[in-house]
Structure 1
Amino acid sequence: SPEVHSIRINQLPAQVEHFFGRIQARRQLIEALVEQRPTVGIICNFYGMGGIGKTALAVWVAHAVAEVYDGVIFIEMQHSSATQPCRLSAALQQAVRPFLGYHALVPTDPEELSAIYRQMLHGRRFLVVLDDVGDLATLRAFTPPAGCALLTTSRDRLLIDPPANAWDVPTLQIQDAQALLLSRAPHLEHDPLLPTLLERCDYLPLAVRQASTILAEQPSLSLARYLMRLDSALYRTAAFHHADQDVYDILGRSDAQLALQNPGLATRWRMLHICPNEFPASVVATIWAEPDPYILEAQLAELRRFSLLRYDSATQRYRLPRLLRDIAHDRCDTLARTVALERYAAFFQCLNVYTHDLIDTPAQTIYAMAVLQEVWPDLLEASEYLQRRNGMPSSGAENDLVGPEVIRAIRLHFNQLTCLS
């Protein structure tokens, strides 16, 4: 058997500076890692969209429990990196080399390496942290033996057992996002536009951190002018770029990976940028002209798996975060945008007519008014688009865009509202 070097291993990066929020997730994970059962290895997963702070959260928790373990192994898998992802065999070699010595000859076969990995950890209590994992094959290869733990981060939700050990990392609470921003740009504390900036950043830690750093380094740049840059399609990319980090580039990698695996679904996702607010599945069915509810449900689930779409189970509505909507807008081709806008406008135009007809029915008046209140922002958006379009020469593309799918979608929309009420 291989000779094992008995040294204490701690490969963790430096502790995160200015860590705010996520108190419940931190507490739950620390409890899971400290009080784990000695007869079985434990696997935990933080998942969510890029820039949401999964790595920072994992590193913070790993530092908090490091003394409980005999050692900590940290490996960057770089699945969503702009560079080449770390191959499974290379990651396993990185895991076993501290035990065997960095000059030892190690195999290249992943299965053989996985067996050595488990042998090295057997009888010890180690925490292994894998950052930016992309598939279940990696989890299987790194499944820890009894007494050890595996903590992973990923953009996709990984199916682990028990499911309770998978945390969907949310955006920051308003007060935590504000604390993070002011830790770097304290001169903005009393600026009345501060809440607007946090909202424009989607309360995303990466975006808040980039914005606060830029504003701190450029004191002559007022918050009002910076917000103007963020609202400009021409300047917003540069406004979120600092040093070697580009917010839109990091977030856009999920779309790029989807485009490689499923180009048609990537095109459909980009079409959703026209929705200004939360939207039900019926609106998606209209924009995509998708008559099959099973295909619709499966594709929406796939977008959620890629962390490209948020879903609120209480309202049964989807949401495209503002920064992702910017990316979808910039990458959507002209024809797809025209198709989406025509169908979207037709849907809410028909819904408007249908609802006003219900208002004239005494038994349906209150219900119809509630529907109108719910969809009012979308009605305004659709109306503004039709006014703009009617003032321009017709491209002819819209002639065949609206058909029975609009009526089907309206019926679906009212069925959903009835269920919710």
Structure 2
Amino acid sequence: MELPGEERPTRSMSDTFGRRLREQRHTAGLTMEQLAERSGVSARAISDMERERSVAPQRRTVQALAEALALPEAEQPAFLAAARAGRPRAVATTTVAAGGCALPRPVPDFTGRGRELAQLTQVATAAGPAATAAPVVTVSGTAGVGKTTLAVQAAHLLGTTFTGGTLFVDLRGMDARPSAAAETLARLLSALGVQDDEIPADERDRAGMYRGLLHHRRALVVLDNVADESQVRPLLPGPGPSLTVITSRRLLAGLEGVHRLNLTQLPAEEAATLLRRIIGDREPDAAGEVTELCGRLPLALRIAGNRLMSRPQWTVRHLADRLSDEGRRLDQLIAGDLRIAAAFSLSYTQLSPQARRLFRRLSLASVPDFDARLAGSLDPADPDGIEDALDELVELSLLQAHVDGRYRFHNLIRLFARERLAEEEPAAGRDRPA
């Protein structure tokens, strides 16, 4: 709401709120620290405003500054208007944010994961007003295992019980620049009905407002594709009836007090059912081979199914024969913009240099599972770092940890590691053990 007589000028470099604030502070003979003490606004926030790093301060912040500067009443409308002029920058973001928090559509042929859905339902049912923190569920697993699909399916199934709304945000954890927590909080606050000029500038204040809104609101929030703990920790709710579901390729072991679901490949029967729902009841023997050659990984099965459906002249046997060649298998698992190797590559680029080297070298192992001793023999360059590198691969779901300190590749990930070895270390590939 505009003040009586207040104009909304066009913002320019010669008439910005930052310039006005700096000039008024100099006129008053105040340092930033002195103005901060008088106004209750932090010196850092004042610095950000003066340097145009924060161009849309809240109205109450501007009024506190005006009072601390002892601005004459006649000058206050222009001072307030200069602050308002910076706000159109955030208007488009607000509009996009509300739409961006809508749930994606569910997959029509969703198959399996009954145990995981039952666990999510149980946690959701237990969520209610309490002195303890609202429940948080992490869904982790390797690329293509169906983490987002499961979270979206669960949100659609449970959404009617969350009367405070259902929100979905992709945190772009595998991008070169994942979404910052402050940015995500702004989107969530906007979707929860907070006006742009009421969203705090400081991340901690945004997190506090977000927790306050969820304290009495039964909302289901899906935070998809999380990069690491630091990206999501400010988004965790306090006490209340909400439910937060987090998906990540990482195990997010640093998060405390959360329920954990670790997805692996589908059981054989569920994998076969998924492929059958995509391609129909065709050539069951060949379809069974395709299922196993895809490692029962949902993304690989979908790619294989889509290839068959988009090439009606192909038989299932033809695709099975093409997939049987290990050297070409990953190249066959491409359908339009779906590429299984590209999904693995996003995880690979997140690794440290030593973990990448060990990942490649482990493809040389001639046994299905291995321990740290064998891993060290394949990558002797830094024996003291082998355990850390193995932990890094497990954390990013590129290796599966089994009992007694043994590790195992998913078969498609092993093929991807072998491809990386051939391209980046061709000499090492020639020395493969028998």
- TM-score calculated relative to the size of structure 2: 0.70
Letter in 2 for 1:32: V
Alignment partner of 1:329 out of 413, 418, 421: 418
Q: Equivalent of 2:168, from 57, 65, 74?
A: 74
Q: How does 1:290-301 map to 2 (within 5 A)?
A: 292=383, 295-301=385-391
* Structure 2: runs of 5+ lacking an equivalent: 1-57, 61-97
> Aligned partners of 1:229 and 1:112: how far apart in 2?
56
Task: Measure the CA separation in 2 of the matches of 1:166 and 1:2.
Answer: 42
Kept in 2: contact 1:171–1:203 (CA 8 A): yes
- Choose the corresponding residue for 1:162, options 257, 261, 264: 257
Deviation at 1:212, TM superposition (A): 0.7
Would the aligned equivalents of 2:330 and 2:416 in 1 still touch at CA under 8 Å?
no
Alpha-carbon shift at residue 102 of structure 1 (Å): 6.3
Give how far 1:316 is off.
4.4
SS in 1 for 2:349: helix
In structure 1, the partner of 2:68 is none
- Shift of the 192–251 alpha-carbon distance from structure 1 to 2, 3 Å rule, reads same
Q: Tell me by how many angstroms 1:191 deviates.
A: 3.6
Whether the 8 Å CA contact 2:422–2:429 is kept in 1: the answer is no
Instruction: Verify: 1:36 aligned to 2:127, yes or no.
Output: yes
1:123 Cα deviation from its structure 2 partner: 1.9
Equivalent residue, structure 2, for 1:419: none
Matched, 1:283 2:377: no
TM-score (norm 1): 0.72
Q: How many residues align?
A: 333
The counterpart of 1:51, out of the listed 140, 144, 149, is 144
Question: How far does residue 306 in structure 1 lie from its aligned partner after superposition?
Answer: 1.0
- Please give the secondary structure, in 1, of the residue aligned with 2:111: coil
TM-aligned CA deviation for residue 248 of structure 1: 1.1
Q: Which whole-Å deviations, capped at 9, do the CAs of 1:326-383 have from their partners, x for residues lacking one?
A: 22122115684544664x63xxxxxxxxxxxxxxxxxxxxxxxxxxxxxxxxxxxx1x
CA-to-partner distance for each residue in 1:384-405, whole Å, 9 max, x for gaps?
xxxxxxxxxxxxxxxxxxxxxx
Contact 1:270 1:328 in 2 (8 A): yes
SS in structure 1 at match of 2:112: coil
Give the corresponding residue for 1:178.
Answer: 272
Q: Name the structure 2 match of 1:364.
A: none
Q: Deviations over 1:88-114 (max 9, x none)?
A: 222111100023456546344322321
Cα gap change, 1:111 to 1:291, in 2 (>3 Å): closer
Q: Which residue of 2 aligns with 1:201?
A: 294
3-state SS, counterpart of residue 285 of structure 2: coil
Q: Note the aligned Cα RMSD (angstroms).
A: 2.8
Please show how residues 337-356 of structure 1 align to structure 2 within 5 Å: 338-339=427-428, 342=431, 345=433
Structure-2 separation of matches of 1:300 and 1:244 = 31
**How many percent identity over aligned positions?**
25
Q: Distance in 2 between matches of 1:232 and 1:182?
A: 23
Instruction: State how far apart, in whole Å, the 2-side matches of 1:108 and 1:218 are.
Output: 53
Asked if structure 2 preserves the Cα contact closer than 8 Å seen for 1:211 and 1:240, the reply is: yes
Specify the SS of the correspondent of 2:369: coil
**How far is the alpha carbon of 1:119 from its aligned partner?**
2.4
Corresponding residue for residue 215 of structure 1: 308
Deviation string 1:154-203 (CA, Å, 9 cap, x unpaired) is 0000133335x111111101111111101111142x34222221111110
Give deviations 1:205-248, integer Å, cap 9, x for gaps: 01101101111221221233323433457754442222322111
Counterpart in the other structure of 2:213: 120
Q: Kindly tell me: are residues 102 and 138 of structure 1, through their superposed partners in 2, closer, same or farther at Cα, counting changes over 3 Å? A: same
**Which residue does the alignment assign to 2:398?**
308
